[in-house]
A = this chain, B = another copy of it.
Amino acid sequence: MNNVETPNWLANRAFLTPNRVAIKTDKESITFGELHTKTLSFARQLSGLGVSNGDMVALLMRNTIDTVLAIHALKYIGATTVLLNTRLTSHELLWQLEDSKPKTVLTEGFFSERFESIKDKMEWSTLHTLEEIKQVDEKNFDFVSTFQLDLVDTIMYTSGTTGKPKGVLQTYGNHWWSAIGSALNLGLHEKDTWLSSVPLFHISGLSILMRSVIYGITVVLHETFNAEEVNKSILKNKVTIISVVSTMLSQMIDDLGVNKYPSSLRCVLLGGGPAPKPLLEVCKDKLIPVYQTYGMTETSSQIVTLSPEYSLEKLGSAGKPLFPVQIKVVSDGKEVLPNQSGEIVVKGPNVTKGYLNRDDATADSIRNGWLYSGDIGYLDSDGFLYILDRRSDLIVSGGENVYPAEIESVLLSHPFIKEAGVTGINDSIWGQVPCAFINLENQTSLTGEEVQAFCQERLAKYKVPKQVFFVKELPRNASNKLMRKRLVDLIK
């Protein structure tokens, strides 16, 4: 069982079921056979640019078929792909590129401006746009016909307690086993069609692409999320599975009005934190088959899922682990009894082997094969998992993870700011939004707008504090540690 390998997923899928539809967008529809041919051609152009086996290549691209080609082509060549969040500022991009040092960065003309201020600093990388790549002559390369499951395939950045983003290493095996665990849980039907309007640079979107080629099912790819478009697409494309977060689902239900979804929509996979009860009740009335899930970049998408028959009975629960996964709740180094809370730890072949260039963070998070998630929760007596508190005071805003420490670190870099604390406050659209509490240096002054403008240059828009409160001191515990949970008390 050591060094398990599988045939190259897309190439094998194109061999097994060449005529099935692989990807549909509002403009085109291509089969697995065509996708393979186009991917080969794209890979030959990348080879023409000098991309080769073992390279690190970063992608900053939107949800398009070209991005799908790029993702598969890099596997054909045997490069490791760093998937960059398209909402990042130049400042944030530079940080991730400095950390991962990709030999090549692939982007679209659309994002060129984003690189203007930083491209001179990226001396380790060559930057290419899609538009350029399409002009490159094809060059043969050594086609990777089998995937070694323990090899790193992709890297995605997440932040954490320190505020510095860390690159999560995702192996071919992590993606493979995630797909298998999901199929064993949700089943697999010949006519399955999975709608992705979540970004391909997030594991939620990327995992759909991987499943498509492993299962042989169609992906309906939306460039961005628009409730009305998604609702139309579900009908038109006979979508059977869709991945959403609460804010998306709420908007879809608003747009749906008095109508109902067709029974062909068999699974609405709901990630990004526990869903509000009223939303679940509406879903029950409308017979929407909601599967609540819990997962993270480190587990290559969902690892715990609640099936619809339990969605109200076990309200607030994320469900039970997918088949090959094991979970425990641990406190003081020991597994706790049912209904007692502790840190959620998980183990399974879909769990990352660590963080890029961060042996310390890896050793801290993964102990004896178990990943310490930092999230707090408990298992009830039937074994259903409940999440009480996301790790590192994580704020989940419209499905994006926002780490207070990362924003605080930007705020504290302003010469006038002495102390800063960030926490999430409830928001009817986004679930939560980040808000800042600031204690200024003596003799200085700043407005909320100035603070926001300062952040805007350095942080993706969804991380910029929506409100800024100026206070005299921040709540700290005896060891002077910021108590973020108590920040909201300052404005009560």
Contacts and interface: CB of A to CB of B under 8 A. Distances in A.
B16 A171 contact: no
Interface residues of A, number: 31
A231 interface: no
A130 interface: no
Sorted nearest first, the 9 A-B pairs with minimum C-beta distance are A1-B150, A1-B173, A1-B149, A6-B324, A187-B188, A188-B188, A2-B2, A4-B349, A187-B190
Contacts of A4: 1, 4, 349
A471 interface: no
Contacts of A214: 184, 323
A386 to B, nearest CB: 16
A396 interface: no
Contact of A1 (B187, B189, B349): B349
Report how many copies the assembly holds. Answer: 2
B2 A150 contact: yes
A12 interface: yes
Interface of chain A, helix or strand or loop or mixed?
mixed
Contact of A7 (B1, B3, B324): B324
Contacts of A189: 187, 189
13 contacts: A1-B2, A1-B149, A1-B173, A7-B326, A16-B320, A146-B326, A183-B188, A184-B214, A184-B216, A187-B187, A187-B189, A187-B190, A214-B323
Interface in A1-38: 1-4, 6-7, 12, 15-16
* Residue of A1, A2, A3, A171 ringed by the most chain B CB atoms within 10 A: A1
Interface in A197-216: 214-216
A180 interface: yes
A183 B188 CA distance: 8
Interface of A: 1-4, 6-7, 12, 15-16, 146, 149-150, 171, 173, 180, 183-184, 187-190, 214-216, 320-321, 323-324, 326, 349, 383
A3 B349 CA distance: 10
A283 to B, nearest CB: 19
Contact of A3 (B1, B6, B16, B320): B1
A4 B173 CA distance: 10
Nearest to A174: B1
A479 to B, nearest CB: 39
Given A1-B4, A16-B320, A146-B326, 13 more contacts: A1-B2, A1-B173, A2-B3, A2-B150, A7-B324, A183-B183, A183-B188, A184-B188, A184-B215, A187-B187, A187-B188, A187-B189, A188-B188
